Amino acid sequence: MRGSFKILLVFIIGTCVCKMNVARAQLKPLERVRPMSWWVDMADSSLQLLVHGKDIAARTVNFSYPGVHLIKVHQVENPNYLFIDLIIDKGTRPGKFDLRFTKKGAKDLVYAYELAEPSSDPGRNQGVTNKDLIYLVMPDRFSNADPSNDKVAGMKDQSLNRDSMYERHGGDIQGLMNHLDYIKDLGATAVWATPMIENDMSSASYHGYAATDIYKIDPRFGTNELYKAYVEKAHSMGLKVIKDVVHNHIGSEGWIMQDLPMKDWVHQWPSYTNSSYRDQPLMDVHRSETDKKVMLDGWFVPTMPDLNQNNPFVDKYLTQNHIWWIEYAGIDGLRLDTYPYNDPEFMADWAKAVLRQFPHLSIFGETLVTTPAEQAFFTGGNTVNRGLDTHLPGVTDAALKDAIYGFLNDKEGWVDGSNKLYAVLSLDFLYKHPEQNEVFLDNHDMSRFYSMVGEDFNKFQQGMGILLTMRGVPQIYYGTEILMKNFSNPDGLVREDFPGGWNKDTTDKFHAAGRTVMENKAFNFVRTLAQFRKTSHALQTGKLMQYVPEDKIYVYFRYMAAESVMVIINKNDSEKKLTTDRYKESVAGYHSAINVLTGQELSDIKEITLPANGITILQLKK
């Protein structure tokens, strides 16, 4: 395995070097300016332009526009780059001006730079909170509405094969837009799509995590303009939009890798060094600094070079890009891929810069770690032993996900089964804001929930019931609501197409008529709870009170001053009668209830009948 890996690495590095030489030979005198445009009256008055073109460093920069000042022009190792520092005064009027790049004896190169008025629409940049339910999709695998962009001339990967788990299937932005009504009807209020920016890699880049141009939507998904239209349509339907962003790495075949501005744009090693994927050296007081460096600076995989965020030009390039997309499209939240692998100081400064510009924006970081302590280490407000505040509002709550699986699948024991879930939630004191954590059961990187519970429908209901009544921001992976299944070894098996998303599909599970009896039962279960959650202040923002599990029965409440929801999970194989005397501090003042799942009215809640291996969710009434 190691030998094969080295051969692959040599091939990749050799390929990149060849393409780098070709890219330099074919480079235009003025290839690109990034960001392509900007806005007046931003929170940060500074702007740094990356200019890329053949021997552009040999030219002088000139422009004239009231309120815009040239501070410095940086020449770097590669003469094909200039970095231009500008200051834009408050009150500068929107408009265009010509950036001129002059050289004696040569024709001027001109770029018309636009400064626009920031949007004042209150429906943009709303933030995604614990009031929301997130629906996660992989665009390539969700729906194909525009076959004309399935293959794009000039792009490296020309695959289109729905029978292959690793090749492109053709899903696109228009397909997602066409099914926003399905997502809304389910009860979701926010959509998170895996990255849709350009991934012009030779193969296996349908997932979007190997960016080759971070300012451009991949043309096989659509255009920048269509992405903006997608956000606007979602907003018009009462849905929020989360953009998936990657700070840690880029694709090895992108233009910036083919013609690096400077060697330390990415982390360099004497020989290829992969990340250890171990987060412990970041927090371990006994750590080896070498181990910490390998975790942070090692490459994620050979085709995803690790960005050097200590390089101030990289820092500015990434931060401005994310601000550009948020303002351009009106995005409501960001999901941060591979959060622990990034430089901590950079990420803290990045979060402050982004939230300064967009104070209502929501951010959660992917932290696929194993314990609440490890997760809390990365969240904002936890400065002990760190010397910094990450300013990260929330994380993907993998520890809670594992505890829910333990609850559903493990035998009862002092620290197992129900007690594992109880114990993990008891550690919420480690977080400043546990309600901002994203709660989930599966996603595109892990085995699907229904398979993980052995295709046991009772466990499916219990798990989804916990997900939709738990503290935090719940997230559903596309297809979970219709019992899509499979295991993540390999990952492609959990990234199957949503049935009905392609014109030639023989079944259409976006509609009840195309679903089986069990699929409709699952869909309606999720929809009932999700729609109820949209009206329940207790489930959205209420506090959580849990009780130590007894006799394989676990009880918790989501409550606020005038509203309470009681959740009871009976893990016994037989029906049980539950008296509520033990829960008097939570049920005091309440005398009746409505069963949220069945609609049944309970005139008396002193004793509740619990179905075997079932979940009961009661809206308490005074």
Mean pLDDT score across all residues of the chain: 95
Q: 257 falls in which pLDDT band (50, 70, 90)?
A: very high
Mean pLDDT along residues 292-312: 98
Average pLDDT for residues 529-549, to the nearest whole number? Answer: 98
pLDDT band for position 24 (cuts 50, 70, 90): low
Give residue 582's pLDDT band: very low, low, confident or very high (50, 70, 90).
Answer: very high
Angstrom distance (rounded) from CA 589 to CA 571: 28
pLDDT at 490: 84
**pLDDT band at 164; cut points 50, 70, 90:** very high
508 is catalytic: no
Q: What is the pLDDT of residue 22?
A: 45
Which entry of 332, 366, 397, 442 is annotated as an active-site residue?
366
Catalytic residue among 259, 315, 337, 435: 337
3-state secondary structure of 451: helix
Is 337 part of the annotated catalytic residue set?
A: yes
Q: What is the pTM of this model?
A: 0.95
* 42-53 confidence digits (pLDDT tens): 999 999 999 999
Contacts for 197 with CB less than 8 Å, ≥ 6 apart: 208, 211, 213, 214, 215, 216, 217, 218
Whether 208 shows a pLDDT value over 60: the answer reads yes
Query: Domains in the chain, start-ordered, CATH in brackets?
Result: 32-116 (2.60.40.10), 137-247+307-539 (3.20.20.80), 540-621 (2.60.40.1180)
| pLDDT score for 583 | 98
Of the candidates 65, 161, 262, the residue with the CA atom closest to the CA atom of residue 492: 161
Q: How far is CA 289 from CA 292, 296, 616, in A?
A: 5, 11, 50
**What is the number of helices (H) and of strands (E) in the chain?**
17, 26
Tell me the mean pLDDT in the region 56-78: 98
Which pLDDT score, from 0 to 100, does residue 315 have?
98
- Return the percentage of the chain with pLDDT > 70, whole number: 96
Closest to 373 (Cα-Cα) out of 344, 336, 398? 398
The lowest-confidence range among 10-14, 186-190, 269-273, 434-438 is 10-14
Give 310-323 pLDDT, tens digit per residue: 999 999 999 999 99
pLDDT exceeds 80 at position 261:
yes
Q: What percent of the chain has pLDDT over 90?
A: 94
